[in-house]
Structure 1
Amino acid sequence: MSTSAARRALGRSYGAERALTLVAGLIATLAGAAALMVGLGWLGRFRGQRALLDPIAVRWLGDHALYARIGALVLGVLLLVLGLWWFFRSLRPEPRPDLQLDETPGAELTVTSAAIAGAVQADAEDITGVTRARVRAVGTKAEPALRVTLWLSEDTDVRRVWSDLDTYVLTRARESLGLDVLPTAVRLELDTAGPARVR
């Protein structure tokens, strides 16, 4: 199984958003720092007293109006394309792979992603100390992966929960699906407001 494909499947909901936020934050920080330096006069007292639109820049734009308009038009189109791509990418549902365990004609056996997630979730909620769980099957049919979130009660032995999850829940899922490798991203949270589970 491709490690990069598994990483993409497991990190899809956070990776791109974090990257975009980081880039936007860096640009805003640099712009703010530059404005602060100019306003405080660190780049010269005269420059700090100038108008927001530098007369030299305005004059240059007037002398090269055609190139400035073309540049602004190209930049606007690029920003529009980027914005539309990001908008439709955000609306696109995350793929949920259904696994075909048997492709024999007349005896096909397909396990849906909801069934996989439900079975793993039920097993994870049976672990002592886990108050609730949420599981999602992600990735592709050829390279499935799991995203697991566990809410733990207070004073839970995290090492034991981790061990039970690995040796019991995930091993059983791999064996049931006939997979050698099933990449899994696990998130642990403390459930302070959840009611006690009745068994």
Structure 2
Amino acid sequence: MLRIVNRVLIGVVGLALVVLGGSVLAVGLGAPPPSWWIHDGRHDVLLSHAERTRWQGHGWWWPTVLAVLAVLVLLALWWLTAVLRRRRLTEVLVDTGDGEGALLRGRALETVLAGDAAELDGVAHARARLTGRRTAPEARVQLLLEPHVDPATALHHLTTRSLTHARTSAGLAALPSEVRMKAVKHRAERVS
């Protein structure tokens, strides 16, 4: 969902900036202004004195402007943190039992989990990705199943073998997981 919002927002902002910037550049270079343009020509100012002081005497004007700007800044900060946030967990904190902890690389656990899941009967390909916090990781597993495999059986084997093995080897109390399964699509072949 965030990826869609990100792309739509970037597209709308980019389109608005291209249209507005192109119009300003064209009018500044002497082209006749478009019919929707708010100014008369090349030497017209962006905001006249009357436009700048029109709402100055009203008590609601500045609080409204500041509230709208504050909302825009908060939305921009939310968007920036969502874009810059790491999607993949880089390390997992393993409890060693002596009061200390060890750090396990997230990619290593992902590789082992995906390899273990790929060895299950009927699994053509598996991918694993860790998200969440390093003290409470979550797994996202994608399985590509052969056509003859029952998805419920594959899910049961994944949870009882691969995910349990990953959870116990990393010393985690729980490893919440999201599993997505897809069937392999084979091309039709002619039988003669």
Give TM-score, length-normalised by structure 1.
Answer: 0.57
User: Structure 1 residues 123, 64: closer, same or farther in 2, change over 3 A?
Assistant: same
Partner of 1:179: 172
Whichever residue aligns with residue 124 of structure 1, its letter is A
One-letter amino acid of the structure 2 residue matched with residue 97 of structure 1 = E
| Alpha-carbon distance in structure 2 between the residues aligned to 1:157 and 1:102 | 38
Q: How does 1:131-170 map to 2 (within 5 A)?
A: 131-170=124-163
Counterparts of residues 19-168 of structure 1 (less than 5 Å): 65-94=58-87, 95-102=89-96, 109-168=102-161
- Note closer, same or farther for the CA distance 1:84–1:63 as it changes in structure 2 (3 Å cut): closer
For 1:86, what is the secondary structure of its paired residue? helix
Q: How many residues of Structure 1 are paired with residues of Structure 2 in the alignment? A: 139
Structure 1 unaligned regions, length at least 5: 1-13, 22-60, 195-199
Decide whether the 8 Å contact of 1:97 with 1:139 is kept in 2. no
What does residue 47 of structure 1 align with?
none
Cα deviation, 1:94-129, whole Å, max 9, x if unaligned, reads 343323353879x97532111111111000001122
- Counterpart code for 1:84: L
Aligned residue number for residue 44 of structure 2: none
Paired residue for 2:16?
A: none
Distance in 1 of aligned mates of 2:57 and 2:149: 69
Larger radius of gyration: 2
When you count helix as a share of all residues, which structure comes out higher?
Answer: 1
* Cross-structure match for 1:188: 181
Identity of aligned residues (%): 28
- What amino acid maps onto 1:102 in structure 2? T
Q: Which moved more, 1:116-125 or 1:83-92?
A: 83-92
Q: In the alignment, residue 68 of structure 1 is paired with which amino acid?
A: W
Question: Deviations along 1:115-157, whole A, 9 cap, x unmatched?
Answer: 1111110000011222211111222232122111112222321
How far residue 191 of structure 1 moved from its aligned partner, in angstroms, is: 3.1
Q: State the 1:85 CA deviation.
A: 2.1
Structure 2 gaps, min length 5: 7-53, 188-192
Q: Tell me how far apart the structure 2 counterparts of residues 63 and 174 of structure 1 sit (CA, whole Å).
A: 63
Deviations along 1:164-199, one digit per CA (max 9) or x if unpaired, are: 1011111211221223321111111223279xxxxx
Between the two structures, name the one with larger relative contact order (CA 8 Å, sep ≥ 6): 1
- The TM-score with structure 2 as length reference comes to 0.58
Alpha-carbon separation, structure 2, partners of 1:104 and 1:111: 16
SS of residue in 2 equivalent to 1:98: strand
